[in-house]
Amino acid sequence: MKKTAIGVFDSGYGGLTILKEIVKQLPEYDYIYLGDNARAPYGTRSFDTVYQYTLQCVEWFFEQGCELVILACNTASAKALRSIQQKDLPKLGANKRVLGVIRPSTEIIGNFSKTGSIGILGTTGTVLSESYPIEIHKFFPEIKVFQQACPMWVPLIENGAFDSPGADYFIKQYIDELLAQSAEIDTILLACTHYPILIDKIKQHSPAGIELVSQGGIVAKSLAQYLDNHQSMSKMISKTGSLQFFTTDSATDFDNHASLFFGKEVKSEHIFL
Ligand code: DGL
């Protein structure tokens, strides 16, 4: 039987915050990471553009022999995952699987809140898709969901300017706008895989007592459960603990930025799509 790695995808660096936690929980598997840095950010792009870009990247993973691809990107999960699963996968390979990050987060986020009011911080695309309120209400019908788009955050992060004094202005602005929607919000989900990089600053600008939830550990746990429940998939994935990194933009830039997100030095290769 052919052996294959797990594909992990993001528009840029953000998915590395998810891969880091996945590797911590499931170190035995092989992984291929692709950041579509040349076309990031996805968050402000149209539905069709995000779908086309994401599909192209998923097809690239399949060409590398991956049978399982994780969209470690909320924007792609919100705007492309369903179409890929329903329209494209039957043509691309009935046994292949593409999973996202929204479902694992919405399944449990209601358990974090005592007040029953949750704030979602995400890209414009994720917020406008309404995926979070819709999915959360399937699991927690009583929970009130408030959303705030943070269009300046990913550009600040991708450009390495998230630690500048100018960044504080935008970090505070979006948190204030979210919390102005309800005084009851006691839990905030960082619904963009780039945002854990801002967690200290987000904490600094949030009132005490608000719980900030990142997705890395949640997605990793959910993937572990998925592989446990799908032994035929688990058996197909090669287990030598290898990691390969690819980017659609400069490999040197990727390597210079990636360790901040992944917590370790990485060596990437450039690909053209
Ligand atoms: N990191 C991605 C997310 O989780 C998207 C960032 C972007 O490209 O705008 O939504």
Residue-wise pLDDT tens digits, 136-155? 999 999 999 999 999 999 99
- The alpha carbon of 235 and the centre of ligand 1 are apart by a number of angstroms equal to 31
Measuring from atom 2 of ligand 1, which residue has the nearest CA?
A: 73
- Model confidence band, residue 158 (pLDDT cutoffs 50, 70, 90): confident
The pLDDT tens digits for 220-236 are 999 999 999 999 999 99
State which amino acid sits at residue 143: I
Asked if residue 210 belongs to a domain, the reply is yes
Mutating to test ligand 1, I would choose from 44, 57, 77, 123 the residue with most ligand atoms within 8 A of its C-beta, which is 123
| Cα 107 from Cα 132, distance rounded (Å) | 10
Listed residues 198, 214, 230: the one ending a domain:
214
Question: Does 73 qualify as catalytic in the annotation?
Answer: yes
| Cα 38 from Cα 31, distance rounded (Å) | 21
Asked if residue 19 belongs to a domain, the reply is yes
pLDDT exceeds 70 at position 67: yes
Q: Do both 197 and 121 map to the same domain?
A: yes
Q: Do both 75 and 122 map to the same domain?
A: no
Listed residues 197, 214, 231: the one ending a domain:
214
Mutating to test ligand 1, I would choose from 194, 197, 215, 249 the residue with most ligand atoms within 8 A of its C-beta, which is 194
Q: Own/partner pairs for 54-57, CB < 8 Å, 24+ apart?
A: 54/9, 54/79, 54/80, 54/81, 54/84, 55/80, 55/83, 55/84, 55/88, 56/273, 57/9, 57/273
pLDDT exceeds 90 at position 159: no
pLDDT exceeds 80 at position 219: yes
Count of domains in the chain? Answer: 2
Q: Do both 132 and 158 map to the same domain?
A: yes
Q: What pLDDT sits at residue 57?
A: 98
State which amino acid sits at residue 194: H
Asked if residue 260 belongs to a domain, the reply is yes
> Is the CB of 192 inside a 6 Å radius of any atom of ligand 1?
yes
Asked if residue 207 belongs to a domain, the reply is yes
Ligand 1 atom nearest residue 192's Cα = 4
> Is the CB of 40 inside a 6 Å radius of any atom of ligand 1?
yes
Q: What pLDDT sits at residue 160?
A: 86
Q: Do both 109 and 196 map to the same domain?
A: yes
Residue 93: which domain range?
Answer: 6-100+217-270
Q: What percentage of residues in the chain have a pLDDT greater than 70?
A: 99
Q: What percentage of residues in the chain have a pLDDT greater than 90?
A: 95
Q: Do both 78 and 114 map to the same domain?
A: no
pLDDT exceeds 70 at position 1: no
pLDDT exceeds 90 at position 244: yes
Q: Do both 109 and 206 map to the same domain?
A: yes
Question: For position 148, which CATH number holds?
Answer: 3.40.50.1860
Taking residues 107-117, report their average pLDDT.
98
Q: What pLDDT sits at residue 165?
A: 87
Q: Do both 96 and 113 map to the same domain?
A: no
> Is the CB of 131 inside a 6 Å radius of any atom of ligand 1?
no
Taking residues 185-205, report their average pLDDT.
96
Mutating to test ligand 1, I would choose from 8, 34, 42, 218 the residue with most ligand atoms within 8 A of its C-beta, which is 42
Q: What pLDDT sits at residue 180?
A: 98
> Is the CB of 154 inside a 6 Å radius of any atom of ligand 1?
yes
Structure tokens at 80: 């492309």
Average pLDDT, the chain: 96
Asked if residue 259 belongs to a domain, the reply is yes
Q: What pLDDT sits at residue 3?
A: 62
- The alpha carbon of 153 and the centre of ligand 1 are apart by a number of angstroms equal to 10
The dihedral over CA atoms of 259, 261, 263, 268, expressed in degrees to the nearest 10, equals -40
Q: Do both 129 and 185 map to the same domain?
A: yes
> Is the CB of 145 inside a 6 Å radius of any atom of ligand 1?
no
Taking residues 5-10, report their average pLDDT.
98
Asked if residue 1 belongs to a domain, the reply is no
pLDDT exceeds 90 at position 2: no
Listed residues 167, 195, 214: the one ending a domain:
214
Asked if residue 49 belongs to a domain, the reply is yes
Q: Do both 262 and 226 map to the same domain?
A: yes
- The alpha carbon of 122 and the centre of ligand 1 are apart by a number of angstroms equal to 8
Task: Judge whether 259 and 235 are in contact, CB under 8 Å.
Answer: no
- The alpha carbon of 178 and the centre of ligand 1 are apart by a number of angstroms equal to 19
Q: Do both 179 and 226 map to the same domain?
A: no
pLDDT exceeds 90 at position 94: no
Q: Do both 241 and 193 map to the same domain?
A: no
Asked if residue 138 belongs to a domain, the reply is yes
Q: What pLDDT sits at residue 76?
A: 98
- The alpha carbon of 232 and the centre of ligand 1 are apart by a number of angstroms equal to 31
Q: Do both 17 and 84 map to the same domain?
A: yes
